[in-house]
């Protein structure tokens, strides 16, 4: 028995070691100058100030790191398809400064794999730019590697605050940060929903529950700061690990405090478990405001069913009506072509997932709008161009205006609400697709 | 409440370890398979997990039998490290097959009972969790009685104590191994089925529970069935207390801490035999 135990310990240690390297196996595909896609009307991408040196016609190597295996594999592969389409569109229009773009993909189901894969793409494949990465944890892991090698990271998924407040020089984020997004949700509750509930803002009791990675924590920090700034009473803040199997204890604590509003940041599985547990203990607050990832996913609403009607989720602008791009006909045609091709590639989808649309928008804006302005296609030249370039409208419905930290200052979040199993935008007014319903929630605690 | 489920998952693991001597790293994946079976029967046939219980358990028994016959039987006499690597590989294969077949989607069973509660005087309990607890503890206790009272049970205990001597006494060792493996698989299948109205099925769901099951089994004393039952309950209680009084972020930290303490002060587990 003793020997057995020794072996067991050794084996457990071995598994831990393996898990560190797990997910390294990624395949690399040469860029596809692909298929039957409708030709992007997306511009000719004329090189700006033509570099003086003799024209370099080698392909420009870029990488894309997404979870292509594991729990987020589906969304990850949709994001990758978004990047591939952006690359194809730009290649079909002549490439960047006369160079075709060669895309290499890598699979990173977790931050450890993201680190390994980023190193591999840079050291072995020689990529100059990396697009990523769906999850905040992965984004930070990749940024740690790209920064050391002076490689550019264009992030369109991770919203962790640390990506743009840690002094990274070569990480650029097209979407908003978690802090901004958490704050937006609170602001909306204070300005719009508190009067609807008939509760003065300074008497509004707020609970914050979030998953404990940098994504959830970033959102919660933003929400808590904004709630305190607006004078709300934060009565509970709890975090949990996404592998949690039983939320009873946390929900009982929440029930004790009787909050009016719940701010929450989760992934899908835990978001469903949270709502279920709140229902089981009859502890649902009057308003539930989720943020990105979990509460925005279609699985969330399809699993919970009609009870999801009225639950809010802040997220980047999603499924904008195509008329939102009227001011830029060229972009409008590109977005339409992108959506058509996504739906053709994923026949199960009725609309393009936000994450994939963001991945496309990030890559397309960067390749089509930013890089042509770069005097040199090295990290210094790219950084200069990223900050100097100002785009009034991107495929996400807002502009590109990156500051010194790498954060796009034009990025904004929408307030969405589940209505009849579909996400409707209720704020800002200009993008509104439906009026607010179910305040307070019909499933709120009696 | 979750303690009952943890106990049931762990009992199967402890039985397989105790009798067959296999550390089954694919145990969590059996749980995942049972959850998917319950989901598909519900989704295609409209039967809720409680109605599909017999079918599910029979399918799990067949799966257990086939895996034992086709894979496990070949390594029974091999080195322990080879057996472990094999079960580890099996777990990876099952995870990835599930990922290919059913994608990474979360598949939940929503029956009216999912969000209903049972009022028991001063306590209000979620009905599926209560049912899961009662059935899980019942099944675990039945197994214990089976091991204590029947001839085959006695044979299993004999093998667990001394395999060679048991064989000399005329016990058909291969058959008993197979039976233990199948029972272990069926028990974890039952756990998966009870879990399915509460927790969604997805390819990696096993991992969330198998780590727990290993902790429970070590806590209870590796091959001890009553140890696994008590261990499961202890972990469930600690998880809830830590979650309520210290915050959900400390739930897992609390039982890992207990795990370390037990290993330091009582390395053979609560009910373990001296090595």
Residue range B21-25: mean pLDDT, rounded? 86
Q: Residues of A at the B interface (Cβ-Cβ below 8 Å)?
A: 1-2, 4-5, 7-8, 10-11, 15, 69-74, 212, 238-241, 243-250, 252-253, 268-269, 272-273, 276, 279-282, 299, 303, 305
Q: Answer whether residue A18 shows pLDDT above 60.
A: no
Across A86-95, A115-124, A143-152, B1-10, least confident range: B1-10
CA distance B150 to A46: 84
Pick from A203-212, A275-284, B44-53, B167-176 the range whose average pLDDT is largest: A203-212
Residue range A351-358: mean pLDDT, rounded? 87
Q: Answer whether residue B125 shows pLDDT above 80.
A: no
CATH placement of domain A60-176+322-388: 3.40.50.2300
Helical axes B205-220 vs B225-245, angle rounded to 10°: 110
B118 CA: distance to closest CA in chain A (Å): 10
- Residues of chain A found within 8 Å of residue B85, distances taken between Cβ atoms: 11
B window 165-204, beta carbon within 8 A of A = 198-200, 202-204
Q: Answer whether A60-176+322-388 and A179-315+414-431 agree in fold.
A: yes
Does residue A393 contact residue A328 with C-beta atoms inside 8 Å?
A: yes
CA distance A297 to A301: 7
Give the tens place of pLDDT for each residue, A210-261.
Answer: 998 888 898 999 899 999 999 999 999 999 988 888 888 899 889 989 999 9
Higher pLDDT, B100 or B39: B39
User: Average model confidence (pLDDT) for chain B?
Assistant: 85
B window 69-108, beta carbon within 8 A of A = 80-81, 84-85, 88, 96, 99, 103-106, 108
CA distance A320 to B231: 53
What CATH homologous superfamily does A179-315+414-431 map to?
Response regulator (3.40.50.2300)
Q: Which residue of A has its CA nearest to B205?
A: A243
Q: For residue A4, what pLDDT is reported? A: 60
Q: Do B202 and A246 touch (CB under 8 A)?
A: no
- ipTM metric: 0.77
Q: Which of A72, A246, A303 sits opposite B108 (nearest CB)?
A: A303
Q: Which residue of B has its CA nearest to A243?
A: B208
Determine the 3-state secondary structure of A46 from DSSP: coil
Nearby residues of B243 by Cβ (< 8 Å), 6 or more positions away: A246, A247, A248, A249, A250, B250, B251
Q: Which helix (H) or strand (E) holds B143?
A: helix B127-149
Pick from A56-70, A271-285, A331-345, B169-183 the range whose average pLDDT is largest: A331-345
- Residues of chain B found within 8 Å of residue A72, distances taken between Cβ atoms: 104
Determine whether A403 is exposed, middle or buried from the number of CB atoms within 10 Å of its CB (0-12, 13-18, 19+). exposed
- The percent of residues above 90 in pLDDT, for chain B, comes to 17
C-alpha pair distances (Å), A79 with each of A38, A39, A127, A343, B269: 19, 20, 19, 13, 47
Give the tens place of pLDDT for each residue, B61-101.
Answer: 999 999 999 988 888 888 888 888 999 999 999 988 888 88
Q: How confident is the model at residue A6 (pLDDT cuts 50, 70, 90)?
A: low
Higher pLDDT, B113 or A54: B113
Q: Is the pTM of this model over 0.80?
A: no
Domain boundaries, chain A: 60-176+322-388, 179-315+414-431
A143 CA: distance to closest CA in chain B (Å): 26
Q: For residue A341, what pLDDT is reported? A: 94
Q: For residue A7, what pLDDT is reported? A: 64
Give the tens place of pLDDT for each residue, A33-77.
Answer: 333 334 444 444 444 444 455 667 789 999 999 998 876 778 888
Determine the 3-state secondary structure of B78 from DSSP: coil
Of B32, B195, B29, the residue nearest B109 (C-alpha): B195
C-alpha pair distances (Å), B106 with each of A273, B199, B205, B252: 11, 9, 9, 23
Q: How confident is the model at residue B199 (pLDDT cuts 50, 70, 90)?
A: confident
Of B7, B24, B35, B76, the residue nearest B202 (C-alpha): B35
- Residues of chain B found within 8 Å of residue A253, distances taken between Cβ atoms: 244, 247
Q: For residue A37, what pLDDT is reported? A: 39
Q: Which of A15, A239, A303 sits opposite B248 (nearest CB)?
A: A239
CA distance B153 to B150: 5
Task: Write down how long chain B is.
Answer: 275
Residue range B242-267: mean pLDDT, rounded? 85
Long-range contact list for A36-41, CB < 8 A, 24+ apart?
A37/A85, A37/A88, A37/A89, A37/A92, A37/A337, A37/A341, A38/A337, A38/A340, A38/A341, A39/A92, A39/A337, A40/A88, A40/A89, A40/A90, A40/A92, A40/A93, A40/A333, A40/A334, A40/A337, A41/A330, A41/A333, A41/A334, A41/A337
């Amino acid at each position: 028995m003793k020997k057995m135990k020794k072996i067991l310990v050794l084996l457990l240690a071995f598994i831990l070691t393996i898990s560190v390297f797990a997910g390294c196996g990624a395949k690399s595909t040469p860029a596809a100058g692909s298929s039957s896609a409708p030709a992007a009307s997306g511009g000719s991408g004329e090189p700006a100030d033509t570099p003086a040196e003799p024209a370099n016609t080698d392909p420009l190597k870029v990488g894309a790191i997404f979870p292509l295996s594991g729990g987020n594999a589906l969304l990850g592969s949709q994001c990758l398809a978004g990047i591939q389409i952006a690359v194809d569109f730009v290649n079909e229009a002549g490439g960047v400064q006369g160079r075709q773009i060669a895309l290499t993909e890598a699979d990173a189901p977790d931050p450890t794999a993201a680190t390994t894969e980023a190193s591999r793409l840079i050291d072995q494949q020689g990529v100059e730019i990396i697009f990523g990465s769906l999850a905040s944890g992965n984004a930070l892991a990749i940024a740690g590697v790209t920064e050391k090698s002076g490689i550019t990271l264009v992030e369109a998924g991770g919203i962790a605050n640390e990506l743009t407040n840690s002094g990274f020089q070569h990480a650029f984020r097209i979407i908003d940060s978690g802090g901004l997004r958490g704050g937006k949700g609170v602001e909306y509750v204070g300005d719009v929903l508190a009067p609807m509930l008939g509760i003065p803002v300074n008497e509004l009791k707020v609970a914050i529950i979030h998953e404990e990675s940098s994504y959830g924590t970033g959102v919660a920090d933003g929400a808590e700061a904004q709630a305190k700034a607006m004078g709300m009473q934060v009565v509970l803040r709890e975090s949990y690990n996404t592998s949690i199997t039983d939320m009873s204890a946390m929900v009982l604590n929440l029930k004790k405090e009787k909050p009016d509003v719940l701010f929450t940041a989760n992934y899908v599985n835990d978001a469903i478990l949270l709502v279920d547990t709140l229902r089981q203990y009859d502890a649902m607050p009057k308003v539930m405001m989720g943020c990105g990832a979990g509460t925005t996913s279609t699985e969330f609403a399809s699993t919970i069913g009609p009870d999801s009607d009225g639950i809010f989720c802040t997220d980047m602008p999603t499924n904008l009506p195509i008329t939102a791009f009227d001011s830029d006909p060229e972009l409008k045609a590109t977005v339409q072509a992108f959506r058509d091709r996504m739906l053709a590639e994923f026949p199960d989808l009725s609309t393009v997932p936000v994450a994939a649309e963001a991945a496309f928008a990030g890559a397309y804006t960067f390749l089509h709008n930013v890089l042509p302005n770069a005097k040199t296609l090295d990290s210094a030249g790219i950084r200069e161009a990223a900050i100097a370039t100002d785009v009034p409208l991107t495929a996400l419905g807002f502009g590109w205006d990156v500051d010194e930290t790498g954060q796009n200052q034009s990025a904004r979040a929408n307030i969405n609400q589940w209505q009849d199993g579909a996400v409707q935008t209720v704020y800002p007014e200009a993008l509104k697709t439906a009026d607010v319903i179910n305040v307070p929630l019909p499933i709120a605690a009696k | 409440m979750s303690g009952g489920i943890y106990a049931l998952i762990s009992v199967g693991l402890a039985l397989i370890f105790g009798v067959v001597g296999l550390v089954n790293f694919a145990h969590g994946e059996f749980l995942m398979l049972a959850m998917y079976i319950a989901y598909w029967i519900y989704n295609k046939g409209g039967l809720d997990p409680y109605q599909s219980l017999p079918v599910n358990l029979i399918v799990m028994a067949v799966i257990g039998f086939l895996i034992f016959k086709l894979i496990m039987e070949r390594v029974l006499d091999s080195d322990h490290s080879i057996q472990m690597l094999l079960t580890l590989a099996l777990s990876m294969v099952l995870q990835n097959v599930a990922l290919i077949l059913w994608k990474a989607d979360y598949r939940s069973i929503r029956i009216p009972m999912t969000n209903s509660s049972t009022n028991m005087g001063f306590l209000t309990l979620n009905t599926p969790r209560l049912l899961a607890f009662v059935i899980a503890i019942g099944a675990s206790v039945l197994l214990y009685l089976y091991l204590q009272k029947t001839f085959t049970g006695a044979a299993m205990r004999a093998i667990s104590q001394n395999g060679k001597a048991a064989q000399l006494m005329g016990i058909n060792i291969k058959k008993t191994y197979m039976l233990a493996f199948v029972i272990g698989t069926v028990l974890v299948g039952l756990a998966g089925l009870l879990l399915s109205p509460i927790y969604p099925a997805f390819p990696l769901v096993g991992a969330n529970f198998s780590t727990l099951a290993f902790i429970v089994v070590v806590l209870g004393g590796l091959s001890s069935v009553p140890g696994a039952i008590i261990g499961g309950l202890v972990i469930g209680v600690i998880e809830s207390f830590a979650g309520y009084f210290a915050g959900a972020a400390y739930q897992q930290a609390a039982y890992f801490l207990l795990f370390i303490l037990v290993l330091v002060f009582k390395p053979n587990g609560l009910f373990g035999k001296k090595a």
